Amino acid sequence: MTRSERIVFALLAAYACGLLGLHVLYYAGLFTSTERDPSVWIHLTRTFFVTSFFLMISIQVARGRPFSLLVVAAASYSGATFVEDFLVIESSFFLPEHPLAGSLYALRPLFMLMLVYSAVLRRSIESA
């Protein structure tokens, strides 16, 4: 991995950990009443995909194997959920009660740009 990829990977890892922490707080019931709302399946699916992509990419990096396809898949999934959140009137992700939610929501476009940059850079390195 190049130096810029290491920096981007560290920032993306911090963002993913913050996102997972936010979902854990959501599951713990700190944002909802004792009853679970129907969007729990959306949060469960997103948590699964973020965790899966992060673990698979980390394993491939540790093994020294190509991982550009995984980064492209993560960027595609992230882009789809980003568009979905802005098209839905009541976003299931935005939880304004917690400061962590506000900061993650504000940093989401930057996260997307870093992920796309990483995907393009890794794809060009591995295809050369």
For the segment 1-25, what is each residue's pLDDT rounded down to a tens digit?
778 888 888 888 888 888 777 777 7
Are residues 112 and 82 in contact, defined by beta-carbon separation less than 8 angstroms? yes
- pLDDT at residue 63, as a whole number: 93
Query: 8-18 burial, b if ≥16 CB within 10 A, otherwise e?
Result: bbebbeebbeb
Distance CA 57, CA 63 (A): 10
| 94 three-state secondary structure | coil
Give the separation between CA 116 and CA 110, rounded to whole angstroms: 10
- Provide the CA 11 distance to its chain's centre, in angstroms: 11
CB of 60 closer than 8 Å to CB of 73: no
pLDDT tens, 19-46? 777 777 766 665 555 455 666 677 777 7
**87-104: per-residue pLDDT in tens?**
765 555 555 566 777 777
